[in-house]
Structure 1
């Protein structure tokens, strides 16, 4: 029996196995492995992870392909326009990971500003000598501006969390239309990027990686942030110039950085490993059991529709 569904990994929950039973045969093979390459020409549907880029050459090698499903919201690793031109459906998982991703952004914000990782490491080192007046001090958040790049569901969910901490959310005005964003707990203004950056004690990234946003936070943009500002990125690594951010951390210009995503991940800029006042996570944004099961179900339902 030929492979109809070719997946690079199992998914959380039963959805993928159920899809395979409905449209046999399902094959699991590591991305770019000999097994994957051998099965590609007969595949009608692919399931890939966000770190596994599909090219137009792959589409050429898969003449039976009807759909590509990615276990992510982002599709910047897929040749979307080429798929559209060939009538290949692109299936992703929007909506179901909103709260999980906003939660991890909040966790990073608290970990950076309250120096949680440093404190935990101090206790485990066995060198902690007890409470001290100036031990591991960090900035307060209440009363400060939280700039948010991205006013979609995740950006709005994070705004509600920032608002609950007593911060004032403000959004980037990507379209240049001005106005406000009703984020569920209140309304927040949309500002041009320079105006947003200059006000933001915290800057949290929640926008997709596109031609418009790639490299948007370059050195000149980062230098517009207030002294001691904190950056949180749970969106995509290519939005921010990582070397510029590390330079500003080392100089003391930035107060801290919390990352769940990296440019070129899982490869990591080695400078991050020594950068001060950073908290680094291995892309945990959607990593709750409930969220990953919901993502799998949404993905497999979309593939089932494409396969008919």
Structure 2
């Protein structure tokens, strides 16, 4: 029997071609599989699923996949997949850790620079024909050298952000479920902060790089935002629901914090309307991993997991299977 693989929307062509060397592959149209009902209609015909974060791989979907052997998420996260239901159904789940750390860290720094130096606001000013010469009081922003960054989540991406920030002369504080090894703390001159509240209070820049869990959902809420210094900047390249967007919009409009740079949103693809009008708020459409190199690497890692599972490779030889 020839195995069949469903890719929920177009990805890098070389990844599709790699899978087509082994299996029959069907690629959905963009937006086709953004809800449970659309996946339920077809999942029974496939042995492997390569979904995006936008595709809800629920218990119903997994139970309807009577041929399904593996779900290889096209992302480092997998909060769109019901892991418990997959385990009960004997379906393997894979993600793509490691390969997007550098591009995501680049994006975090890009958002930080754009927010700190009011780049978008200044560009709009110029494009609108308002630039009439150098002004000593225009678009005054935050100088990064000598500032302190608080990193919430010191995993692969958080470490990559810290290394970049250190190059800008920024001091590093971090909060994590577990303290990192002493050698890394020394390399980054990083100080461990046991409480997130303390991190928020001490940081000029708060960078969110944590996974989305029950514990981190709305970790940055109205109370946490009030703890931040009034000049502080919030950068989120983690997951949208880590931040209470209503509270963030309120804090920005009221001048309670200095600005925010967001690549992810609580109700993607919807963006809170008050964020769209908030001062010094830079918004990008979930592009942290959007480099040619990274998107190919993500796809290949997911494809290799599918090939491994369907070919009967032992679990311990497939490094990106999720074990929880």
**Counterpart for residue 26 of structure 2:** 27
Cα deviation code 1:38-64 (max 9, x no counterpart)? 431121111111111111011121111
**Counterpart for residue 60 of structure 2:** 57
The answer to whether the Cα contact below 8 Å between 2:36 and 2:55 also exists between their aligned partners in 1 is: no
- The worse-fitting range, judged by mean Cα deviation, of 244-253 and 254-263 is 244-253
The answer to whether the Cα contact below 8 Å between 1:8 and 1:47 also exists between their aligned partners in 2 is: yes
SS at match of 2:258: strand
Indicate whether 1:15 and 2:15 are aligned. Answer: yes
d(CA) in 1 for partners of 2:145 and 2:247? 28
Decide whether aligned partners of structure 1 residues 231 and 59 sit closer, same or farther in structure 2, where only a CA change above 3 A counts. Answer: same
Cα deviation code 1:66-102 (max 9, x no counterpart)? 0111111110111011112222111111101110000
Aligned length: 306
d(CA) in 1 for partners of 2:157 and 2:15? 25
Which of 262, 267, 270 is matched with 2:270 structurally?
267
Which of 134, 139, 142 is matched with 2:137 structurally?
134
Q: Any stretches of 5+ residues in structure 1 without a counterpart?
A: none
The answer to whether the Cα contact below 8 Å between 2:235 and 2:262 also exists between their aligned partners in 1 is: yes
**Counterpart for residue 191 of structure 2:** 189
Cα deviation code 1:107-132 (max 9, x no counterpart)? 00000010100111111111211101
The answer to whether the Cα contact below 8 Å between 1:150 and 1:205 also exists between their aligned partners in 2 is: yes
Indicate whether 1:240 and 2:239 are aligned. Answer: no
Which of 216, 219, 223 is matched with 1:220 structurally?
223
Q: Deviation at 1:186?
A: 2.4
Decide whether aligned partners of structure 1 residues 134 and 200 sit closer, same or farther in structure 2, where only a CA change above 3 A counts. Answer: same
Trace 1:1-308 onto structure 2 (pairs within 5 A). 4-23=4-23, 25-29=24-28, 30-31=32-33, 32=35, 37-175=40-178, 182=184, 185-191=187-193, 192-308=195-311
TM-score (norm: length of structure 2) = 0.90
SS at match of 2:261: strand
Decide whether aligned partners of structure 1 residues 230 and 26 sit closer, same or farther in structure 2, where only a CA change above 3 A counts. Answer: same
Q: Any stretches of 5+ residues in structure 2 without a counterpart?
A: 312-324
Q: Deviation at 1:174?
A: 2.5
Decide whether aligned partners of structure 1 residues 181 and 187 sit closer, same or farther in structure 2, where only a CA change above 3 A counts. Answer: farther
The answer to whether the Cα contact below 8 Å between 2:40 and 2:61 also exists between their aligned partners in 1 is: no
d(CA) in 2 for partners of 1:33 and 1:81? 17
d(CA) in 2 for partners of 1:87 and 1:36? 19
**Counterpart for residue 322 of structure 2:** none
The answer to whether the Cα contact below 8 Å between 2:151 and 2:209 also exists between their aligned partners in 1 is: yes
d(CA) in 1 for partners of 2:183 and 2:127? 43
TM-score (norm: length of structure 1) = 0.94
The answer to whether the Cα contact below 8 Å between 1:6 and 1:36 also exists between their aligned partners in 2 is: no
